[in-house]
Chain A
Amino acid sequence: MLKKRKKFFCLFVLPGLAGIMVFVLVPFGDVVQRSFTGGVTGEFCGFENYRMIFQNQAFRMAVKNTFLFTLACLPLLVMVSLAAALLLNMLKHKGWLKAIYLLPLAMPTATIVLVWKMTFYRRGFFNMLLSRLGEWLGLWGQVSKDYLGSSSAFWVLVGTYLWKNMGYTVLLWLAGLSGIPTALLEAAKTDGAGKWQRLWYMILPNLKGSLYTIVVLSFLNSFKIYREAYLTAGAYPDESIYLLQHLFNNWFVNLELDKMAAAAVCTGGFLMVIMMVLQRLWDRNES
């Protein structure tokens, strides 16, 4: 039986695996090799390329920005969507709201760019609203900041990320919440546990498994913000949102392949380590 099983495993998995080998794994091996050879000479040059990218101003800035972006948007998304999921869970008819929250996932990036420009340029909707509010409160005068062309672009991008991914994350939280046995919560209620106590001691600990997935998937989606960044601000945006993805793209356009190879190996390796650490943490939690 085991032999048979092996045969069928190979029969079903190998064709796809062959494709992955041809299109991903083997060429990535080639990239690793390239990262140790000079771009012009084609000779082995040790860690020269790595030294070069770590001394590169643009690379450092892009790494810093990518880190900052992830650090700003991940906790925000996780918390905001948890709050929304807990609130949603109180309602009986939540279908409509769920659908609305998910909608941005279906909106192609290109379609929202226009609206973003109209909202965030100097005389756009956002400034108009702020100015009116300031007038009404009498606290500040007219605001005419260009959000996409200044360091505020960073926060516009964080907001876009939240806008796009909230529905997805809320659903994941809701799935986690529905996995908590209601009998348990009812029992706690009759034992006199208050709302916040139940939340803190019963609901949140039970959501740890969901947290892992949510962090991993949100992390993955945080790389896709490049689409929004690129379309609203171009290949060379404000410094605050110059991400690793921009850098890779610009290196690619300028054919600086040796730097690209070294940076791809570093980024890929880093992501793999992060995944493994997260997975390890998660496994320990389960047992």
Chain B
Amino acid sequence: MKVKKIDLRKAGIWVQKGLAVTLLSLPAALILLPLLILLSGALMDSWELGGYLGSVFTEGEEWISWKWMPDYPSFENYKKLLFETPQFFVLFWNSIKLTGCILAGQLLAAVPAAWGFAMYPVKGSKWLFSLYVVLMLMPFQVTMLSSYLVLNQLSLLNTHGAIILPAMFSTFPVFIIYGGFRSIPPQMLEAARIDGAGEITILIRLGLPLGKGGLLSAMVLGFLEYWNLMEQPMAFLEEKALWPLSLYLPEITWGQAGFAFCASVITLVPAVFVFVLGQDYLEQGIIYAGLKE
């Protein structure tokens, strides 16, 4: 009798777990669908794609249709985009340059700041840190006019500097990296000091390796943010040759849908690459962002 009872309970747990998995898989499928549509669309030739999307551009009456496996898989659009569209490369490199420079600049500005806040708390530093948090939460639109005024003064408008310099001093990475530094036990620093290490040496030799988690998570979060840059270049870069890839995609018209799919996939690749490599750090960063200062 007893044995049977235990079995029932076990079965109940299995049923519960099964239900949980089903309930959770549904949104997961919804999340993956757009990705699958992009990947399959990028493999179709223009003719096949035109057939499916015909009613989208002509405002026709037939339903949209789709195939998860193209009838005639082809790399035609990739070829055209990569070998016959030089503008695409210009924009791709713009994106790489902007993201790379911003992240490098953030490292230079945010690491020392986070270290200062974490290791040398003085009177008023808490207050200053709250100011940083408020600044981090301000949406771009609120500071758009002030950024415009200063960039105009420094005659940086319509150059990449207009995007890179203000972003360098974003307070978000300070906040995340601070989370990593805070977990270093102070005794370790004391030991290093007794051994005669200078404060800057301590930051480089001890702080950087031990605070690696916070640092890398700030970089991963930063990459995803700046690879998707939109508002800033739209406001401060007039010349389209300076735009990043994230602004080029919307410029593609429906008639070139094949291009749009391929360009989307190519834009997606670096982001997903960083996402997969840095997923653990990404999680850590999100959790750091959630910790109280």
Residues of A within 8 A of B (CB): 2, 5-6, 8-13, 15-17, 19-20, 22-24, 26-28, 30-31, 34, 84, 87-88, 90-91, 97-118, 121-125, 127-128, 163, 166, 168, 171-172, 175-176, 209-210, 213-214, 216-217, 219-220, 223-224, 226-227, 230-231, 244-245, 248-249, 252, 257, 260-261, 264, 267-268, 271-272, 275, 279, 282, 286
Contacts and interface: CB of A to CB of B under 8 A. Distances in A.
A23 B165 contact: yes
Interface stretch (B81-89, B130-138, B208-216): B130-138
A8 B250 contact: no
Given A216-B137, A248-B141, A16 B109 contact: yes
Given A9-B125, A12-B203, 13 more contacts: A8-B199, A13-B116, A16-B174, A20-B169, A24-B143, A31-B149, A90-B16, A108-B227, A108-B245, A109-B230, A121-B64, A214-B290, A249-B234
A209 B112 contact: no
A112 B264 CA distance: 8
Given A23-B166, A88-B24, A114 B120 contact: no
B141 A249 contact: yes
B142 A249 contact: no
B246 interface: yes
Contacts of B113: 12-13, 15-17
Interface in B95-150: 109-110, 112-113, 115-117, 119-122, 125, 128, 130, 133-150
15 contacts: A2-B122, A9-B125, A12-B116, A13-B125, A24-B143, A84-B24, A106-B271, A114-B260, A114-B261, A121-B56, A166-B27, A172-B287, A219-B137, A267-B142, A271-B134
Is chain A's binding surface mostly helix, strand, loop or mixed?
helix
A24 B56 contact: no
Interface residues of B, number: 101
Interface stretch (B3-11, B29-37, B72-80): B29-37
Given A13-B112, A16-B113, A31 B146 contact: yes
Given A9-B116, A16-B112, A123-B63, A175 B56 contact: no
B2 interface: no
A31 B16 CA distance: 57
A121 B53 CA distance: 11
Contact of B31 (A90, A100, A219, A223): A100
Nearest to A106: B275
